[in-house]
């Protein structure tokens, strides 16, 4: 096939079926957004239509348009849909080199996308690489005419429909609803339909606040599998913050001893701070009493309290809970 295609020179476009022009000799994939310039001669003339190659499923009006000036041109058609909300508008236009790379990588012959008219529309919108990935147009094997490919939708066209990127992908922005009756499994991540998702390490974010530090943090409990790991994480999270806090309290004078002091003894009451949590019933509990998985399934939020203030809080073990 390649040799067949290369056998056509650009000048001999008239003789060759249109499609074969699409892979020019020098393997330069010129991607352009406009391939219907030739239509000024009258896109609806039947003679033109005869010369055109028809691609796509029967019944659909697919055709190729010639370049007016004889330059070969290829149209890259990738059947992907709007990218996720892309805040990076500077990459809208893929450079020539990038396009060429993509084209050769995908070994895609070009096919135009057609709507109901012989007018070609561009199907090129290669945006950020983080996109969902190219799903090559179903017609990627349709180099030959009359290949019946099932094509459910026309490939997207740049800038159509005219919606700004801020407004795209709202299908995923489904409104959610809390169900009236919740299970004990309180740390829930809601899926788009508002149903609680199994808490199987999928990201169980709980808030964690530390005495003396105004800004709380969030920890993903799913990332840990033991109290020890949680304790280390807390230490890492708050060590710097605590030092900064003390620094500002001291009027900015650096007290080297305060700097970055390790936070230890969170679980056994031996340290300056102790880990405490609120469970799904609103009770405050010492962290560490119950098996880890039970803790994870009932914890709502975590606090790092000063050990000296613990006795005033009437904390109990899991067997003997008392609300605060």
Partner 1 sequence: MVEDPSIPSSSSSQMSEDDDRSPSLDLIDGPIPSTKSRNCSGVSVSGGGTSVEYTVPYPDQVLENVLENVLCFLTSRRDRSAASLVCKSWYRAEALTRSELFIGNCYAVSPRRATARFTRVLAVTIKGKPRFADFNLMPANWGAHLAPWVSSMAKAYPWLEKLCLKRMSVTDDDLALLAESFAGFKELVLVCCDGFGTSGLAVVVSKCRQLRVLDLTETEVMDDEVDWICCFPESQTFLESLMFDCVECHINFEALEKLVARSPSLKKLRLNRHVSIGQLYRLMVRAPQLTHLGTGSFNLSEGMAQGDQELDYVSAFAACKSLVCLSGFREILLDYIPAIFPVCSNLTSLNLSYANITAEQLKPVISQCHKLQSFWVLDSICDEGLKAVAATCKELHELRVFPVNAQEDAEGPVSEVGLEAISEGCRKLRSILYFCQRMTNAAVIAMSKNCSELVVFRLCIMGRRRPDHVTGEPMDEGFGAIVMNCKKLTRLAVSGLLTDRAFSYIGKYGKLVRTLSVAFAGDSDLGLKYVLEGCHKLQKLEIRDSPFGDTALCSGLHHYYNMRFLWMSSCSLTRQGCWAIARELPRLVVEVMKSNEGEEEGDNFDTLYMYRSLEGPRDDIPQFVEILRPGI
Rounded alpha-carbon distances, angstroms, from residue 279 to 168, 286, 311? 39, 10, 19
Q: Which of residues 5-44 bind partner 1 (CB under 8 A)?
A: 30-34, 36-37, 39-40, 42-44
**Beta bridge partner(s), residue 207:** 218, 301
311 binds partner 1 (CB under 8 A): no
237 binds partner 1 (CB under 8 A): no
Shortest distance, position 307 Cβ to partner 1, whole Å: 26
Q: Which of residues 252-281 bind partner 1 (CB under 8 A)?
A: 280
Interface mask toward partner 1 for 285-304; x: CB under 8 A: ---------------x----
Q: Which of residues 146-165 bind partner 1 (CB under 8 A)?
A: 152-154, 156-164
Interface mask toward partner 1 for 193-222; x: CB under 8 A: -x--------xxxxx------xx--x----
187 binds partner 1 (CB under 8 A): yes
Distance CA 60, CA 116 (A): 7
Give the strand pairing for 205-210 and 299-306: parallel
Shortest distance, position 268 Cβ to partner 1, whole Å: 27
Name the residue nearer to partner 1 (CB basis): 17 or 222. 222
Rounded alpha-carbon distances, angstroms, from residue 96 to 28, 31, 103, 223? 9, 7, 10, 43
Q: Which of 115, 129, 223, 294 binds partner 1 (CB under 8 A)?
A: 115
167 binds partner 1 (CB under 8 A): yes
Distance CA 287, CA 267 (A): 6
Q: Which of residues 93-112 bind partner 1 (CB under 8 A)?
A: 93, 95-97, 99
Residue count, binding to partner 1 (CB under 8 A): 76
Q: Which of 58, 150, 166, 251 binds partner 1 (CB under 8 A)?
A: 166
Distance CA 193, CA 206 (A): 21
Contact 111, 21 (CB under 8 A): no
Name the residue nearer to partner 1 (CB basis): 119 or 134. 119
Token pair in block for residue 79:
């059947």
Name the residue nearer to partner 1 (CB basis): 15 or 181. 181
Shortest distance, position 107 Cβ to partner 1, whole Å: 20
CA dihedral of residues 17, 22, 23, 28 (deg, nearest 10): 150
Contact 155, 120 (CB under 8 A): no
11: CB partners within 8 A, 6+ apart: 70
Name the residue nearer to partner 1 (CB basis): 177 or 308. 177
140 binds partner 1 (CB under 8 A): no
Q: Which of 60, 82, 149, 209 binds partner 1 (CB under 8 A)?
A: 82
Cβ-in-10-Å burial (0-12, 13-18, 19+) of 81 comes to middle
Name the residue nearer to partner 1 (CB basis): 25 or 178. 178
**Which has the closest alpha carbon to 31: 114, 96, 79?**
96
Q: Which of 10, 51, 57, 81 binds partner 1 (CB under 8 A)?
A: 81
């Amino acid at each position: 096939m390649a040799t067949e295609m290369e056998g056509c020179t650009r000048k001999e476009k008239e003789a060759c079926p249109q499609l074969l022009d699409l892979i020019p000799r020098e393997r330069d994939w010129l991607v352009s957004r406009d391939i219907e310039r030739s239509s000024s001669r009258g896109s609806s003339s039947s003679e033109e239509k005869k010369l055109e190659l028809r691609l796509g499923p029967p019944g659909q009006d697919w055709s190729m348009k010639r370049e007016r000036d004889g330059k070969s041109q290829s149209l890259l058609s990738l059947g992907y849909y709007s990218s996720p909300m892309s805040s990076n508008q500077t990459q809208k236009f893929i450079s020539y080199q990038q396009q060429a790379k993509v084209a050769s990588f995908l070994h895609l012959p070009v096919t135009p996308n057609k709507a109901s008219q012989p007018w070609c529309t561009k199907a090129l919108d290669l945006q950020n690489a983080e996109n969902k990935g190219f799903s090559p147009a179903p017609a990627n094997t349709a180099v030959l005419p009359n290949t019946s490919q099932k094509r459910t939708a026309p490939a997207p066209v740049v800038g159509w429909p005219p919606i700004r990127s801020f407004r795209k992908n709202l299908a995923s922005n489904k409104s959610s609803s809390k169900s009236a009756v919740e299970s004990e499994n309180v740390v829930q991540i809601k899926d788009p339909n508002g149903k609680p998702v199994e808490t199987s390490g999928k990201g169980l974010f709980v808030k964690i606040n530390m005495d003396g530090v105004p800004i709380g943090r969030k920890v993903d409990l799913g990332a840990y599998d033991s109290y020890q790991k949680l304790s280390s994480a807390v230490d890492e999270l708050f060590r710097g913050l605590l030092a900064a806090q003390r620094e500002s309290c001291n009027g900015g004078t650096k007290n080297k001893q305060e700097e970055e002091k390790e936070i230890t003894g969170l679980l056994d009451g031996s340290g300056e701070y102790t880990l405490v949590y609120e469970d799904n019933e609103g009770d405050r509990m010492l962290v560490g009493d119950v098996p880890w998985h039970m803790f994870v399934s009932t914890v709502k939020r975590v606090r790092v309290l000063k050990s000296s203030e613990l006795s005033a809080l009437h904390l109990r073990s899991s067997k003997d809970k008392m609300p605060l």
